[in-house]
């Protein structure tokens, strides 16, 4: 009986080793030669019957994976694939490879290495969530539990616990949650959920240290309400119009009383003046389809190429995407059923501050979608004292942005010339993150 038990145990170990080995990817279609980093892909089932299968890409740090921090990266949307963070250089947080734009003549688009990937100094898990994003899918056609902000906080926490169970070597690594745009609603809630989970008996502890957010959505009455002050600060509207707006609208430009005709007219004037502005990056033009050199059209072309790449059969086989689980990969799935049930993430930021978690909040200073004016406002509302006041942070004796640090271990930073996502500021964001994560003064 003992011999049979040993045989079964050895067989189980062999099978487990085979599964682990099968998830490691040494090369990718479109990339010349072996990958210069270690990539793993797979699914983690969450939910009572593990009906939701969340797809992830895990890339080990290229520096010191045993000791470097572990980051869980979420894209915005909701519904955008985390492949955006891995493949696109036009987002602030660059992945280790990107789509080659030049010379495409059909077939599988080429991939090339990047210089300023955060994987140079951190282990990164890129997660497709909520279900329906990227390659994540549900085993049942209709979910009784529609994904929501608060629901995703619980699902992502469950994902993380199961992922760490399968990767025990990373349990002790400093852990951070990171994301951009709409993830600003969900990431603080995930941090709170993980923190609460660390106090539950018999559950594995997560070495949670903090979180990172870029141009984060926080609350409509903050984000949208500060677009008008931002437009004034950037000389998009006149002093006279701004003063009239403040006076007639009483600084409230969202859900205006329909009887306040003067305010409504002024807001209409504001929208007319800014209708030609690209709100993602106010320095970039709004493009016409006939503009072949338009930056935005070039980005759409890159999105198209990434769709060609992700939907190629050989790519899906290499990534080990479950056959039949997804008819087509799309960058952002706008048809996901989703409940936005966190009205404001500020209470979560407050709670995370009380629990002592560090945070880096950064904004492109030319982003009008989530203007830094609003981000500064909700950070001020936390009412923490300033320990390192407003100052420039530098790269090669040049101003790369401005920063301020608070007593709750929250650092706010701007990236000069940066937009919401459409901006080539990978070097700046990499150096900013490198300094912050290593505890250096930015």
**Spans of all domains in the chain:** 2-219+302-437, 237-273
Mean pLDDT of 180-207: 90
What's the chain's length in residues?
A: 442
- In the structure, what pLDDT confidence band is assigned to residue 12 with cuts at 50, 70 and 90? very low
What is the overall mean pLDDT for the chain? 88
In this predicted structure, what is the pLDDT of residue 11? Answer: 41
The pLDDT, as a whole number, for residue 92 is 58
Q: What's the pLDDT at 291?
A: 56
Mean pLDDT to the nearest integer, 5-25: 48
Average pLDDT of span 134-144: 80
Task: Write down the pTM of the prediction.
Answer: 0.90
- What residues contact residue 212 under an 8 Å CB cut-off, 6+ apart? 71, 176, 177, 178, 179, 359, 360, 362, 433, 436
So what's the pLDDT on residue 39?
Answer: 94
| 47 pLDDT more than 90 | no
CA atoms within 13 A on the CB side of 53: 15
Catalytic residue among 61, 82, 148, 181: 181
- Report the pLDDT averaged over residues 170-199: 95
Cα–Cα distance measured from residue 148 to residue 181, given in angstroms and rounded to the nearest whole number: 16
In the residue annotation, 420 being an active-site residue is answered as: yes
Q: Residue with structure tokens 């949208």? A: 224
What is the rounded CA–CA span in Å between residue 393 and residue 404? 10
Residue tagged active-site, from 281, 420, 423, 429: 420
Cα(230)–Cα(237) distance, integer angstroms:
10
Q: What per-residue confidence (pLDDT) applies to 9? A: 45
- How many of the other CB atoms lie within 10 Å of CB of 3? 7
Q: What span, in angstroms and rounded, lies between the C-alpha atoms of 436 and 388?
A: 14
3-state SS, residue 175: strand
Q: What region does 125 belong to: left with phi over 0, alpha with psi -120 to 50, or beta?
A: beta
- For residue 299, the 8-state DSSP code is H
pLDDT at 10 over 50: no
- 396-427 pLDDT, tens digit per residue, is 999 999 999 999 999 999 999 998 875 678 89
pLDDT tens by residue, 58-74: 999 999 999 999 999 99
Q: How confident is the model at residue 142 (pLDDT cuts 50, 70, 90)?
A: low
* CA atoms of 357 and 174, how far apart (whole Å): 12
Mean of pLDDT values over 131-158: 88
Q: Nearest CA to 192 among 353, 45, 56, 78?
A: 353
Check whether 4 has a pLDDT greater than 60.
no
What is the per-residue pLDDT across 235-269, written as a single tens digit (0 to 9) for each? 999 999 999 999 999 989 988 999 999 999 999 99
CA pseudo-torsion sign 218, 354, 209, 382: positive
Q: Please list, residue by residue across 300-313, b when 16 or more beta carbons sit within 10 angstroms of its beta carbon and e when fewer do.
A: eebbebbebbbebe
Best-predicted range by mean pLDDT (83-97, 117-131, 302-316, 320-334):
117-131
Q: What is the pLDDT averaged over residues 223-230?
A: 95
When pLDDT is averaged across residues 187-198 and rounded to a whole number, the result is 95
Name the pLDDT band for 302 (thresholds 50, 70, 90): confident
Active-site choice (215, 365, 367, 423): 367
Res. 169: pLDDT tops 70: yes
pLDDT above 80 (res 18):
no
**CATH of region 2-219+302-437:** 3.40.50.1820
Structure confidence at residue 6 (pLDDT): 43
Whole-number pLDDT of residue 297: 65
Quick one: which H or E segment has residue 156? helix 149-166
232 is catalytic: no
User: What tens digit of pLDDT does each residue of 278-296 get?
Assistant: 898 899 887 765 555 566 6
Q: Which of 348, 370, 362 is nearest to 415 (CA)?
A: 362
| Over residues 125-131, mean pLDDT | 94
32 has a pLDDT exceeding 60:
yes
Helices of type H across 286-368? 295-310, 313-319, 346-354
């Amino acid at each position: 009986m003992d011999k049979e038990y040993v045989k079964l145990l050895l067989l189980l170990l062999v099978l487990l080793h085979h599964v682990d080995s099968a998830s490691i990817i040494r090369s990718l279609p479109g990339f010349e030669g072996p990958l210069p980093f270690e990539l793993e892909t797979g699914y983690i089932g969450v939910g009572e019957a593990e009906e939701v299968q969340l797809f992830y890409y895990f890339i080990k740090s290229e520096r010191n994976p045993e000791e470097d921090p572990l980051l869980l990266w979420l894209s915005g949307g909701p519904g955008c694939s985390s492949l955006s963070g891995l493949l696109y250089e036009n987002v602030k947080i660059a992945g280790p490879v990107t789509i080659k734009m030049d010379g495409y003549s059909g077939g599988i688009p080429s991939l090339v290495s990047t210089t300023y990937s955060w994987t140079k100094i951190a282990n990164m898990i890129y997660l497709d969530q909520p279900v329906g994003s990227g390659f994540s899918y549900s085993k049942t056609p209709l979910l009784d539990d529609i994904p929501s902000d608060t629901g995703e906080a619980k699902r992502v926490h469950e994902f993380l616990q199961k992922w760490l169970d399968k990767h025990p070597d990373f349990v002790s690594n400093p852990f951070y949650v990171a994301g951009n745009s709409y993830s600003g609603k969900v990431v603080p809630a995930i941090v709170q959920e993980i923190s609460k989970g660390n106090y539950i008996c018999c559950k594995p502890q997560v070495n949670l240290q903090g979180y990172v957010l870029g141009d984060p959505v926080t609350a409509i009455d903050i984000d949208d309400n500060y677009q008008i002050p931002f437009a004034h600060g950037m000389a998009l509207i006149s002093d006279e119009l701004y003063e009239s707006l403040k006076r007639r609208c009483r600084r409230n430009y969202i859900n205006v009383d329909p009887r306040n005709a003067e305010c409504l007219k002024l807001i209409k004037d504001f929208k007319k003046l800014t209708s030609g502005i690209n709100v993602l990056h106010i320095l970039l033009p709004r493009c016409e389809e006939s503009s072949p050199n338009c930056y935005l059209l070039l980005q759409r072309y890159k999105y198209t190429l990434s769709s060609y790449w992700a939907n190629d059969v050989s790519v899906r086989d290499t990534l080990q995407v479950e056959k039949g689980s997804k008819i087509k990969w799309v960058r952002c799935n706008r048809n996901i059923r989703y409940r936005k049930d966190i009205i404001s993430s500020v209470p979560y930021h407050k709670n995370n501050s009380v629990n002592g978690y560090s945070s880096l909040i950064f904004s492109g200073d030319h982003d009008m979608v989530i203007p830094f004016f609003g981000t500064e406002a909700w950070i001020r509302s936390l009412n923490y004292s300033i320990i390192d006041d407003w100052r420039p942070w530098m790269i090669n004796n040049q101003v790369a942005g401005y920063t301020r640090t608070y007593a709750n271990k929250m650092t706010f930073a701007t990236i000069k010339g940066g937009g919401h996502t459409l901006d080539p500021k990978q070097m700046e964001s990499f150096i900013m993150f490198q300094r912050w994560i290593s505890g250096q003064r930015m």
